[in-house]
Every structure is written in C-alpha cells, then in structure tokens.
C-alpha cells in the first residue's frame, strides 16, 4: 500500500489496503506500507498519522517498518544520474512556458495534454546552462512502439508509446517524480505484486519502461475498478468518501467495515459474511470484479448491525469507550453488570455504536425527554388512571422480575378489556421517553422498582401540567 499523505485515508484507499493485505496473507507473503511524501507542498505529517491510525484500527498494519519515500530521494537521484550517463535519460532546461508555446505553434491549438517535443534530448550542455533550473527526463526507447503487460484483473493491456512523451523523472527542485520514485522503491522493497486503482493504468507503461531501463524486474500489476456512489458517479464525500477514522468515531466496528469493503468488488458465490480467517483462505485476485462497485450505505449499516448483534456486550463497551465520544461517559454510574445488561437490551436494535451510546444515555437518565409525537399518539384521557393502577401493580410486585411483571400487567390489561399495547406504550414513554424501545418488562426489571416508579411519576406530573 503506497498512499500519498496529502489527505486522510478514504474508502477507496481502504479497499486497496484490504485487497493487498488479503493477497499477501493468502500467499504467505508480506504486506508493506510506503508513505509517498515527495509532494512536499501538499504532504502533511498529520495525514501520515491519520493513515497509520486508520490501518491500525482496521488491523492491517505493515509487516515491516514504514518506508518514507522522501528519505530515499538521494537514491532516486543517484539512479536518475546513472540513466543520464547511459543515455537513457537527459537534462532538460526548458521552462514549462517554453514547452507549452512550442506545442501551440506545432499543433495550432490549446490541447489539454501538452506533449514534450524532445527539444533537449540531443542538446549539448553549455556553460550558459550552468545556472538554469533543469529537470531530468526519461528518454523513451525508440525500439519499442508499444508496451504491454498482463494485468491480473483486466487481462492483456497494450499501450502505444506514441501516446507518451519523454516524461520527467526528477523535478527542478531535486525531488523525484511519482513514476520514477515508485519504481526505485518497489525494487528496494522487493515488491512482487501491486494491487491499486484503475487510475494508475496510465502510469504502468511508464513504470515498466523504467524497470527495464534500470535492469529491474517489474512486479505483477492488478488494477481495481473505482467505487461509485449511488448516483453512478465517482464516490463523493456526500456518498461516503470520508476519512476512515470518521467511521471509527461514528461507531462502526472494524470487522464490519472490513467485511463490507472486501465485498465491494470481490465475491465468493453468494456468501456475504466472512470471518477474517475465511477471507484469507478464500481471497484471490481472479474474483475481483472488473466492473465498478457501488457504495451502499444501507448495506454497510446492515453489516455493522449484524456484527454488533453478534458481539459480546463487554467487547462493545470497550469499543464504545475507546472510539466514540459521547456525554454518557461523563455521567455513567452503572456497574459492569448493569452496563452489560443494558447493552444486551439494545444491541439488537442499533446499527452503530453511536446509536447504542445514545440509547444507553436515555436509559441511564436521570432526566427523560418525551417525544411529542408519541405523546400525541399513545396518551389518552384514560392514561393517567391506567398508570396509577400500573403503579400499584409495580409497588406490589415481589420479586421485581420480567416473568412476574409480564404475568401481572398482562392480566390487568385483560381484566380491563384493554389491548396490551395501549398500556405498554405509555409505560415505555415513561421509562425512556419514546414508544420504540426494548421489551417493556425487560426495561422495568433493568431499572428496578424505585426508578421505574419515579419515571412513571415524572410522566404523570408532565401530563398533568398539560
């Protein structure tokens, strides 16, 4: 994985990480991370830190120490000068304005792609050039009219060299250009396979020529199709192209996001849910789809809800405390046993840990905000009388258990010729402020007799105020 630290890690980059990591694990190989920071103006340390934190959260850290590309610039320059000595590269003193002007005169138009005309390729360097800024350009080999390779996903790809020009490998500030730096560093890191986005297909012929010129063996390449948003356009921030750490803070479980991302462009029959061990065993590049995948927030939420339901309460609490910022952590006075019981009540009802924290905050109290729409729907002129009778049942209930409360309250509703829901919903509103909640008897038993009575009294007072 070779991110440019000019921004945070997003979903497209995360999927690339996952594919590389699974490929390496499947073949008992090594997964490596290189920080490509030679764009000094845009690369920021905080972005590098964000990328590293994202990978650590997802459990796909590099198997060896990070390679920082900017630290290897002296080696890039040494090999570039070696190519100039061999006649495979040359110094170019043309300014960008001069290149554009010559192109305009030749083509008679303002093309988007300005092709360098090789002006300095045979130019003899004179004393007058000594103080001029220069770049080093790669001299396209005349013996090759086309460059082809077998892409592990896309099959045979051939690019005609007439589409290329003598591209820059060392900039005028001495920093390496992307295509040259990655070739040198891939060889240094002993990279055998590269899985990356389809936007890099255009870079591959340049890199293959550089490998050959340097006498290095090119790795095998696999280019994944992009991820689209629901509209069919490139994934935007509105659709989910946000910092991976934002998913962490929003309460997504790393295993759920991992599972969803690997299924976003890879499949194994109709199976949806995989353990990480299964994915390592089954993953192969042949099953990566050639067509673009479409990001589906609803499907991601489904995965996350599934993983939350299957998780142990203590594990969910640990992830909540470590990853989600919420006011509940400042006021909570529950024991570990109460925390586990509360999470068990709600974990089947939420899609994210943030939702879970919100529900626990309501359950914890002490104040309850009543949903006005639920009040209007479920509170009738008879509700105060019904709640007074329910209070008496609760006061007499001993032990204060789910089973006893269920029997007594249901029997009272039957005797009163009242549908159970007509009293269950007002009780829910009293306990948590809304009619959507876990089972009413489970809530009563969790809160206990005194707290349940207190909350019912509060609702009664609220209703009496009108």
Q: 433: pLDDT confidence band, cut at 50, 70 and 90?
A: very high
Q: Is residue 112 predicted with pLDDT exceeding 70?
A: no
What span, in angstroms and rounded, lies between the C-alpha atoms of 416 and 290? 65
Q: In this structure, what token pair is assigned to residue 392?
A: 């008496």
Q: Span 124-142, mean pLDDT?
A: 88
More confident residue, 47 or 104: 47
User: Tokens standing for 431?
Assistant: 């306990």
Pick from 45-54, 65-74, 124-133, 348-357: least confident: 124-133
pLDDT at 131: 82
Mean pLDDT of the region 168-195: 96
Domain 72-181 falls under CATH 3.90.800.10: yes
Q: Which two tokens stand for residue 205?
A: 């012929």
Q: What is the pLDDT of residues 252-293, one digit of tens each?
A: 999 999 999 999 999 999 999 999 999 999 999 999 999 999
241-250, 376-385, 398-407: lowest mean pLDDT where? 241-250
Q: CA–CA separation, 158 vs 352, rounded Å? A: 46
> Are residues 448 and 356 in contact, defined by beta-carbon separation less than 8 angstroms?
no
- The pLDDT of residue 253 is 98
Give me the pLDDT at residue 110, please: 63
Q: Give pLDDT, residue 345.
A: 97
Closest CA to 374 of 423, 429, 420, 418: 429
Q: Is the predicted pLDDT of residue 109 greater than 70, yes or no?
A: no
Q: Across residues 387-405, what is the average pLDDT? A: 97
- The model's confidence at residue 330, banded by pLDDT at 50, 70 and 90, is confident
Q: What mean pLDDT value characterizes the chain?
A: 94
pLDDT at 224 over 70: yes
Closest listed residue to residue 78, CA positions, set 202, 184, 187: 184
Residue 371 CB: number of other CB atoms within 10 A?
16
For residues 317 and 340, the answer to whether their CB atoms sit within 8 Å is: yes
What pLDDT does residue 400 have? Answer: 97
Q: What is the model's pLDDT at position 180? A: 98
State the DSSP H helix or E strand holding residue 89, giving kind and residue range, or none if neither: strand 89-92
In this prediction, residue 39 carries a pLDDT of 85
**pLDDT more than 70, % of the chain:** 98
Q: Which two tokens stand for residue 218?
A: 């090119």
Q: Please give the DSSP secondary-structure letter assigned to residue 398.
A: S
Select which of 44, 106, 237, 419 is catalytic. Answer: 237
Asked which of 117-126, 349-358, 394-403 is least confident by mean pLDDT, the reply is 117-126
Report the CATH fold assignment for 372-464: Arc Repressor Mutant, subunit A (1.10.10)
pLDDT exceeds 70 at position 100:
yes
Q: pLDDT confidence of 466, banded at 50, 70, 90?
A: confident
Q: Between 333 and 76, whose confidence is greater?
A: 76
**Would you state the structure tokens that stand for residue 139, as one six-digit string?**
């001299």
pLDDT band for position 241 (cuts 50, 70, 90): low
The dihedrals phi and psi of 294, each to the nearest 5 degrees, come to: -110, 125
Question: ∠ CA 124-130-132 to the nearest 5 degrees?
Answer: 100
Looking at 35-44, 62-71, 143-152, 308-317, which range is the least confident one? 35-44
Average confidence (pLDDT) over 381-409:
96
Mean of pLDDT values over 413-429: 96
Dump pLDDT digits (tens) for 22-34.
Answer: 999 999 999 999 9
pLDDT tier, 440 (very low <50, low <70, confident <90, very high otherwise): very high
pLDDT tier at 36 (50, 70, 90 boundaries)? very high
- What is the pLDDT at residue 111? 62
Q: Decide: 65 and 76 in contact? Cβ < 8 Å.
A: no
Task: Enter the tokens of residue 424.
Answer: 């269950």
Query: What is the C-alpha to C-alpha distance for residues 351 and 101, in angstroms, rounded to an integer?
Result: 58
- Is 88 in the active site? no
Q: What predicted TM-score, i.e. pTM, was given to this entire model?
A: 0.91
What lies within 8 Å, CB to CB, of 89 at 6+ separation is 80, 83, 136, 137, 138, 139, 169, 213
Comparing CA positions, the residue from 125, 273, 281, 147 lying closest to residue 208 is 147
Tokens linked to 339: 């925390």
Predicted confidence at residue 114, as pLDDT, reads 80
Rounded Cα distance between 21 and 76, Å, is 27
């Amino acid at each position: 994985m070779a991110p440019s630290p000019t921004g945070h890690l997003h979903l497209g980059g995360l999927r690339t990480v996952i594919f590389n990591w699974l490929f390496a694990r499947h073949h008992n190989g090594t997964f490596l991370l290189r920080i490509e920071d030679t764009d000094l103006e845009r690369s920021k340390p905080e972005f590098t830190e964000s990328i590293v934190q994202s990978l650590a959260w997802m459990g796909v850290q590099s198997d060896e120490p990070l390679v920082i590309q900017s630290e290897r610039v002296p080696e890039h320059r040494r090999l570039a000068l070696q190519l100039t000595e061999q006649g495979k590269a040359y110094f170019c003193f043309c300014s960008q304005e001069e290149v554009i002007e010559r192109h305009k005169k030749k083509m008679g138009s303002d093309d988007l792609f300005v092709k360098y005309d090789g002006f300095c390729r045979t130019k003899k360097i004179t004393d007058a050039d000594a103080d001029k800024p220069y770049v080093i350009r790669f001299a396209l080999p005349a013996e090759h009219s086309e460059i082809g390779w077998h892409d592990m996903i896309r099959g045979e790809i051939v690019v005609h060299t007439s589409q290329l020009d003598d591209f820059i490998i060392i900039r005028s500030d001495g920093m390496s250009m992307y295509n040259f730096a990655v070739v040198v560093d891939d060889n240094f890191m002993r990279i055998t396979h590269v899985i990356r986005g389809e936007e890099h297909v255009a870079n591959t012929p340049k890199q293959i020529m550089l490998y050959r010129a340097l006498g290095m063996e090119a790795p095998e390449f696999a280019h994944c199709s992009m991820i689209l948003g629901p509209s069919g356009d490139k994934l935007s921030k509105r659709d989910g192209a946000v910092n991976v750490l934002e998913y962490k803070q929003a309460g997504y479980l790393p295993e759920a996001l991992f599972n969803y991302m690997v299924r976003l462009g890879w499949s194994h029959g109709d199976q949806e849910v995989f353990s990480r061990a299964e994915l390592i065993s089954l993953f192969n590049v042949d099953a990566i789809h050639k067509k673009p995948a479409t990001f589906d927030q609803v499907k991601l939420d489904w995965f996350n809800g599934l993983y939350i339901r299957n998780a142990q309460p203590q594990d969910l609490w640990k992830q909540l405390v470590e990853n989600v910022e919420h006011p509940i952590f400042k006021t909570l006075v529950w024991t570990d046993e109460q925390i586990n019981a509360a999470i068990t009540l709600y974990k089947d009802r939420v899609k994210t840990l943030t939702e879970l924290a919100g529900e626990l905050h309501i359950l914890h109290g002490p104040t309850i905000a009543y949903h006005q729409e639920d009040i209007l729907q479920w509170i009738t002129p008879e509700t105060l009388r019904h709640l007074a009778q329910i209070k008496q049942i609760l006061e007499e209930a001993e032990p204060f258990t789910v089973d006893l409360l269920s029997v007594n309250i249901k029997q009272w509703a039957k005797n009163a010729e009242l549908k159970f829901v007509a009293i269950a919903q007002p009780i829910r509103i009293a306990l948590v402020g809304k009619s959507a909640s876990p089972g009413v008897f489970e809530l009563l038993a969790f809160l206990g007799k005194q707290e349940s009575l207190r909350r019912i009294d509060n609702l009664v007072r609220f209703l009496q105020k009108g």
